[in-house]
């Protein structure tokens, strides 16, 4: 199975995150819309520009030049001090949102992540997931991202660097000659600045030139790095997404249906399939959920969601499904044609944090044993081989993931 990889890159992260924070604090002006820069101490002539708005760029201001030079070019430019705590805060908020899509996330830098979505698509397309993530980041977090869509990390990274901001680009193997080969070699990921003039001396000026060069010659001249850049120019990359298992603050899953569904019984089956996956992951992390959220998207792309608190935090498939079904019934109206269904659980706590009565403990232990027995069978025979009666038909509509990304 080919990998399904996304690369998420925050657009102008330091300036965007500063702007969002200031707007939250009541700032009337979005600094992304005025001549503005992020930098060090402007009282020091050595302070440099770390980030700039589009209006500042139009004035000729460049990243890494001194603030003193920037103010000469644009006397009315607004200067804002860098604040790493703010950057960490919004980087973490992005990471927590992405954890709702996959457990396999590599934090490549403070404003970049790789996502391995290979077993998390449920018959949806990778591009659709990218669109959903882009929309949610914009609406829920207040900033924009570029997303690269590909079958390996290299191509996803290259794709996310195409035109900006707020764009989604694909770069599949068949698209390499058209989209990647015409680019100058300096655009190739992991190609050092010192190597560029050496390649120019060999008449290698574009990524396409490098892809068609003699790889033995490149390896002889540049060693292992020469072979690597030749492989990269040809889109070859077997690197895995390096992720750490971290306990999420929320767990969710959604599916865009291959055809619209109007019958509530079918929607309930889909809801059960999604709930089972979400609670399976809850139990893998030894977490309990206190809040359940259900999302619906109609054929006209109208989104609606309801959430409710549980009486007691739980990881029980039965209890969370019952609450999710209640929420579905509250939102559903006869004749609604639904194209997307989503389930999310939030306000997660560890088991040790939950205090229960003796009666509730006995009830929960019985349900927990049942869920663990089903989980064990799934681990042994494959996730999709063991099916609850309430979702017997849903397999024809959505593909359930086999691997949940919890093992390195």
The predicted-structure confidence for 44-82, as pLDDT tens digits, reads as follows 555 889 999 999 999 999 998 989 899 999 999 999 998
DSSP helix/strand/coil, 1: coil
Query: Thinking of the domain 251-396, which architecture would CATH place it in?
Result: 2-Layer Sandwich (3.30)
Report the CATH number of the 181-233 domain.
1.10.150.20
* pLDDT-derived band at 255, boundaries 50, 70, 90: confident
Query: Thinking of the domain 15-84, which architecture would CATH place it in?
Result: 3-Layer(aba) Sandwich (3.40)
Query: What pLDDT is recorded for position 395?
Result: 53
**Residues with Cβ within 8 Å of residue 223, at least 6 apart in sequence:** none
**Residues with Cβ within 8 Å of residue 244, at least 6 apart in sequence:** none
Of all residues in the chain, the percent with pLDDT exceeding 70 is 84
Query: What pLDDT is recorded for position 218?
Result: 96
| CA proximity to 149, closest of 25, 307, 5, 346 | 5
Residue 377 has pLDDT above 80, yes or no: no
- List, by residue range, all CATH 1.10.150.20 domains of the chain: 181-233
| Catalytic annotation present for 112 | yes
Taking all residues of the chain, what is their mean pLDDT, rounded to a whole number? 87
**Residues with Cβ within 8 Å of residue 81, at least 6 apart in sequence:** 38, 39, 40, 41
Q: Rounded to whole angstroms, how far apart are CA atoms 121 and 128?
A: 9
CATH homologous superfamily for the domain 5-12+85-170: Reverse transcriptase/Diguanylate cyclase domain (3.30.70.270)
- Percent composition of the chain: helix, strand, coil (DSSP 3-state, to 5): 45, 20, 35
- List, by residue range, all CATH 3.30.1490.100 domains of the chain: 251-396
Higher pLDDT, 389 or 27: 27
Residue 116 has pLDDT above 60, yes or no: yes
- Out of 23-37, 118-132, 276-290, the most confident range is 23-37
Query: What pLDDT is recorded for position 44?
Result: 59
Residue 408 has pLDDT above 50, yes or no: no
* Separation of CA 164 from chain center: 17
Q: Rounded to whole angstroms, how far apart are CA atoms 120 and 277?
A: 10
Residue 350 has pLDDT above 90, yes or no: no
Ranking 7-11, 95-99, 122-126, 299-303 by mean pLDDT, the lowest is: 122-126
Instruction: Please state the pTM of the whole predicted model.
Output: 0.72
Query: What pLDDT is recorded for position 401?
Result: 39
Give the β-pairing of 78-81 and 36-39. Answer: parallel
Q: Which two tokens stand for residue 81?
A: 């001090």
Of all residues in the chain, the percent with pLDDT exceeding 90 is 68
- Distances from the Cα of 89 to the Cα of 13, 93, 141, 190, angstroms: 12, 6, 11, 28
* pLDDT-derived band at 403, boundaries 50, 70, 90: very low
* Separation of CA 51 from chain center: 23
- Would you say 134 and 145 are in contact if contact means Cβ atoms under 8 Å apart? yes
Query: What pLDDT is recorded for position 393?
Result: 54
Q: Rounded to whole angstroms, how far apart are CA atoms 158 and 180?
A: 8
Query: What pLDDT is recorded for position 121?
Result: 84
Residue 237 has pLDDT above 60, yes or no: yes
- List, by residue range, all CATH 3.30.70.270 domains of the chain: 5-12+85-170
**What does the pLDDT average to over 201-221?**
96
| Active-site annotation holder among 58, 65, 106, 112 | 112
């Amino acid at each position: 199975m080919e990998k399904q990889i996304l690369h998420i890159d925050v657009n102008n992260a330091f300036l965007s995150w500063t702007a969002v924070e200031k707007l939250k604090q009541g700032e009337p002006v979005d600094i992304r819309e005025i001549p503005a820069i992020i930098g060090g101490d402007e009282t020091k002539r050595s302070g440099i520009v770390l980030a700039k708005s589009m209006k500042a760029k139009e004035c000729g201001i460049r990243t890494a030049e001194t603030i003193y030079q920037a103010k000469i070019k644009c006397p009315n430019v607004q200067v804002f001090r860098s604040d790493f705590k703010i950057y960490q805060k919004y980087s973490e908020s992005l990471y927590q949102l992405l954890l709702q899509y996959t457990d396999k996330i590599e934090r490549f830098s403070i404003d970049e992540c790789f996502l391995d979505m290979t077993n998390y698509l449920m018959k949806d397309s990778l591009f659709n997931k990218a669109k959903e993530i882009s929309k949610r980041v914009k609406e829920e977090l207040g900033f924009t991202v570029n997303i690269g869509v590909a079958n390996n990390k290299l191509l996803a990274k290259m794709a996310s660097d195409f035109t900006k901001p707020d764009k989604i680009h694909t770069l599949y193997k068949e698209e390499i000659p058209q989209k990647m080969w015409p680019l100058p070699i300096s655009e190739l990921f992991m190609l050092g600045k010192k190597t560029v003039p050496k390649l120019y001396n060999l008449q290698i000026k574009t990524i396409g030139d490098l892809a068609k060069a003699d790889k033995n010659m490149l390896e002889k001249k540049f060693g292992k790095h020469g072979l690597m850049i030749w492989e990269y120019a040809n889109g070859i990359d077997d690197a895995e997404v390096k992720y750490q298992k971290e306990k999420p603050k929320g767990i969710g899953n959604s599916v865009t249906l291959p055809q619209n569904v109007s019958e509530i019984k079918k929607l309930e089956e889909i809801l059960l399939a999604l709930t089972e996956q979400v609670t399976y992951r809850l139990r893998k992390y030894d977490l309990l959920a206190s809040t359940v959220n259900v999302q619906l998207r109609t054929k006209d792309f109208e989104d609606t969601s309801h959430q409710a608190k549980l009486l007691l935090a739980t990881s029980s498939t039965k209890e969370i499904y019952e609450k999710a079904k209640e929420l579905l019934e509250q939102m559903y109206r006869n004749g609604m044609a639904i194209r997307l269904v989503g389930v999310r659980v939030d306000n997660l706590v560890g088991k040790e944090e939950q205090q229960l009565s003796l009666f509730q403990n006995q009830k929960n232990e019985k349900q927990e044993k049942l869920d663990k027995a089903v989980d064990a069978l799934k681990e042994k025979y494959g996730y999709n081989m063991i099916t609850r009666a309430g979702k017997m038909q849903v397999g024809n509509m959505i593909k359930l993931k086999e691997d949940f990304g919890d093992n390195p």
